[in-house]
Structure 1
Amino acid sequence: MVVSCWSYYILVFTETGAEEAAVVLTKNAEVKRIPVYDKQGFLLQLETKLPPELAYKYGNLSSGACKPGYAAAKMTTIYPKFIKSAPMFLDRNFKRLSKISHYLPPFGIKTQERIIDSILTATKNYGLGERLDRLSCKRCIIVGNGGILYNKSLGTRIDDYDVVVRLNEAPVKGYSRDVGTKTTLRITYPEGAIQNPENYEKDSLFVFSGFKPLDFKWFRQIVFKENVRGLDGFWKSVAHRVPRDPTEMRILNPYFIQEAAFHFIGLPLNNGLMGKGNIPTLGTVAITMALHNCDEVAVAGFGYDMSSPHAPLHYYEKVKMAAIKESWTHDISKEKEFLRKLVKANVITDLTKGI
C-alpha cells in the first residue's frame, strides 16, 4: 500500500497576528507555512459563515428584523483584531481617547485640543439624537456619490434604513427616486461642504471631518456663525455658512480615518502625517464609522468602473468616468481591495453591487 502524504494544521501566532500561518507536516517531515491572514490581519480565506452560536442567535429572529451586533460579529470573524468600541462623534471626554491623542490631523487631534473644546462647548450634543440613540438595533446605510446609483430606483429602500449617511455636497432634491429623501447625517470637510445654504435638507446633522488644522479653524467660525476668513490653504472654495444650529453639528471621531488608513487598507504611515496616497476616501471612513456604531451596515453608490470611461462619475452631474485622474491623496485600488473583503464576507451589503 502506498501512502502519498499526511498532514495536519497547527496555528502559529505572532504578536501582531498578521503573520499567522498553518503549518503543514508531510510524511517526509517537510514543513510548509501557509499564511492564514494577510498583512493587515484579514483572513485570506474569507469566512462568510458565522460561528454556530451566532448563527443560532440570528436565525431565531423574525424575518427582516434588525440583527443586534451583526456587523461587528461578522467583522470579527474575518478580522479578529476588531474592537467595536469607538464613539461616532467627539464629546467632552475626547482627550481621554488615547488612540487619537498622539496623532496630528487627520489621524488625530494633537494641537487642536483647545479649539475642539471650544466647539464642543457650543454644540452641546454628541450623539445621533434621542430617538436614534435609544434604538437597541440600528440599520445604517452609507450613500456614496457614484454614477452607479443613477436610474436604480433605490430611493424607497434607502429611506427604510434607520440611519442614512450622505457625503459632502451630493444632492437629494431632484434625485429622490434613486437616492431617497432621508438624511440622518452628512459628513463633510470644508472643501466638500454644500456652499449654497438653500441646498441643505432639513432635519439632518452636519458632521465635520477635519483633515488639516485649517479645517478646524473654519469649522469653529461656522459653528459660532462668524465671518469665514483666513482662506489661504484650501484647495478650492469653501462654504461660508451652514444653516444649522450648533446643537445640530458634530465632529467625526478621527480614529476612523486612522483605522481605515493604517489598519484596514494598509496605507503608508508616513510618521503619522498626511502624505501621498495615505488618506482614505470619506466614503470608506464613513463605512469604518458604521462598523463600530451600527448593527447592520449597507452601502449604495460605491465603486468606480474604470473599464467604462463614458459612464457617469457621479449620479448628479454629467462628468464621465474618464475624468478620474490618479489621486495624490488616495489609493483607490487598495481601498477597493478592503471594501471587497467586507462585501465578500457579508460584513456589509452593497445595494448597487459596484464594489
Structure 2
Amino acid sequence: MVTLKHLSVNDNDEDSVPLLPEASSLESPTTQHSRAESREFFLSRRNNFILSIALLLSCYSAILVPAYLPTPEPTWTNDSSAETLALQNQSCRSGWSVERVRTLSIPAGLLKIPVFLENSTGDWALPPPLGLQGSEEMVAQALKALPYTAVPTGPETCRRCVVVGSGGILHGKNLGPHIDQYNIIIRVNNAPVFGYEKDAGSRTTIRLIYPEGAPSQSQEYQSTELVALVAFKSLDLAWLISVITKEPLSWWSKLWFWKNVIDSIPLQPENVRILNPEIMYRTGQVLKTYAEQQKKMVPTLGITAVVLALQVCDEVSLAGFGYDLQHPGALLHYYGSLRMDAMNTQVVHDVSAETILLRELVKSGAVRDLTGAL
C-alpha cells in the first residue's frame, strides 16, 4: 500500500490480474469458435455461387457460340488431299473428255479444231475476233516471225489438263499443289501466279492473252511455256509483231488500245503462238443455242480456254470457274478487290449461256469442276 496525501492505491505486481480486463476476454471460447465457423460458411457459399455462375456461362458459351461462327471451308493440302493422291495414282483415261462431249446434245462443233494458227489454217472470211478478214498481211508477218506453231510438249499417250479460271471461288481453296501436278495448265490474261501459288499453282503451260490483258509484271512469265495471242482486232496482231521483233509501235497505234499495253514480253519467239480464231467462232455458235437473245456471241477467254483444252487433252479439269451473280458483293476474282456486280456492267459476253454450257460439260463428265461452283 502506497499513501499519497490520503489517497490510497493498491500496487499490483506483474503477475496480478488487471483491474479492467480486455472486452474480448468477456466472450467464452465456444462463442468465438461459433462465429468463426459462421463467417467461413458464408464466405464459402459466396465463392461457390460465383464459381457456379462462371461454370454455367462457360457451358452456354461452349454450346451456343460455335453455332454463330462461320464454318471453315475444307482446304486442299499436298499431304492430306485425297484428290491429290488420286491424281498421282489413277491412270489417265485416253480420249475421255472428247468421248463424253460426243454424248451431249450440243453440236460437235467444239471438237477437232486446229489450236494455233499456221499458214494453212484459220477462217479468213470473218473479221476479228471470229475471223481474220482484213488482217491477212499482218498474220503472215506474225507467222513468219514465229518459229513454231505446235502444241506444248507433254505425254503423247494421255494428257491431263486443268484450266485455271480467275473466279473468286478459287480464293482460299489451297488448290495450288494439286494444280501443279497436271501435264498442261492453261490460264487467261493477267491472272497472277506470283504470290498466289497456294491457291492457283505456280506453273503455266499456255496463257491466253490479248494486248490490254497481258501481265505487266515480268515474274508472271516465269515458269511459263507459251503465251498465245487472242486477236480481237487487227491492231492486236500489230502489237504481237512489235513484241516479237522488238520494233516499237507508233504512238498513233497505241492510242487505239482501250488500255495501256506493255512493250515487251520476257519470252522468246518460240514461246509465242496465235490462237486459231476458229475456236472463238465455233464456241460462239454453240453458245447461241443456250442464249436467250440471238446476237453476235463473243466468248470469254475462260470458255475459250476450256474449248482449247478439249482439243489437246484427254482429261480436262476446271478450277476457279463460276460466277455467283446472286451475291453482288462477292469477290469476282481470286485476286484484287473487284466485286461480282462488275459483271452486270459488261455487255460483250453472255456469261449465263456460258454457265449453262459449262454445267452440261461437268454433268456429262467431259470436264471436272475442282472448285464446285458450276
**Which TM-score tier does this pair reach, normalised by the shorter chain?**
0.7 to 0.9
Instruction: Please say if 1:317 is aligned against 2:336.
Output: yes
Partner deviation per Cα, 1:218-259 (whole Å, 9 max, x = no partner): 111111111133112222121211111111100011111111
Instruction: Please say if 1:239 is aligned against 2:258.
Output: no
Pair 1:282–1:140, CA change in 2 (3 A): same
AA matched with 2:108: F
CA contact (8 A) 1:143 1:164 kept: yes
Secondary structure class of the residue paired with 2:102: helix
Alignment of 1:135-146 (within 5 A): 135-146=156-167
Secondary structure class of the residue paired with 1:256: helix
Identity %: 36
Structure 2 counterpart of 1:206, from 227, 231, 237: 227
Which TM-score applies when normalising by structure 1? 0.75
CA contact (8 A) 1:265 1:338 kept: no
Partner Cα separation in structure 1 for residue 276 and residue 307 of structure 2: 11
AA matched with 1:89: F
Partner deviation per Cα, 1:157-197 (whole Å, 9 max, x = no partner): 11111000011001111111111111101101011111233
Aligned-pair CA distance for 1:79: 3.7
CA contact (8 A) 1:195 1:239 kept: yes
Q: Which residue of 1 aligns with 2:46?
A: none
Structure 1 counterpart of 2:131, from 108, 120, 123: 108
Moved over 4 A (4+): 267-270
Partner Cα separation in structure 1 for residue 255 and residue 366 of structure 2: 41
Which one is further off, 213-222 or 149-158? 213-222
Query: Is there any run of 5+ residues in structure 2 with no aligned partner, and where?
Result: 1-87
Query: Is there any run of 5+ residues in structure 1 with no aligned partner, and where?
Result: 1-61
Secondary structure class of the residue paired with 2:185: strand
Partner Cα separation in structure 1 for residue 367 and residue 270 of structure 2: 31
Aligned-pair CA distance for 1:198: 4.1
Q: Which residue of 1 aligns with 2:151?
A: 128
CA contact (8 A) 1:122 1:247 kept: no
Partner Cα separation in structure 1 for residue 243 and residue 214 of structure 2: 11
Pair 1:194–1:118, CA change in 2 (3 A): same
Instruction: Please say if 1:353 is aligned against 2:369.
Output: no
CA contact (8 A) 1:166 1:183 kept: yes
Instruction: Please say if 1:173 is aligned against 2:200.
Output: no
Aligned-pair CA distance for 1:287: 0.6
Secondary structure class of the residue paired with 1:78: coil
Aligned-pair CA distance for 1:269: 7.3
Secondary structure class of the residue paired with 1:210: coil
Aligned length: 282
CA contact (8 A) 2:107 2:286 kept: no
Larger Cα-atom Rg:
2
Partner deviation per Cα, 1:44-72 (whole Å, 9 max, x = no partner): xxxxxxxxxxxxxxxxxx96111111111
Partner Cα separation in structure 2 for residue 264 and residue 334 of structure 1: 6
Aligned-pair CA distance for 1:319: 2.1
Instruction: Please say if 1:82 is aligned against 2:117.
Output: no
AA matched with 2:319: A
Q: Which residue of 2 aligns with 1:150?
A: 171
Q: Which residue of 1 aligns with 2:215?
A: 194
Q: Which residue of 2 aligns with 1:262?
A: 285
AA matched with 1:106: P
Partner Cα separation in structure 2 for residue 265 and residue 153 of structure 1: 35
Instruction: Please say if 1:66 is aligned against 2:87.
Output: no
Pair 1:210–1:135, CA change in 2 (3 A): same
Structure 1 counterpart of 2:359, from 336, 340, 343: 340
Q: Which residue of 2 aligns with 1:303?
A: 322
AA matched with 1:311: A
Which one is further off, 339-348 or 258-267? 258-267
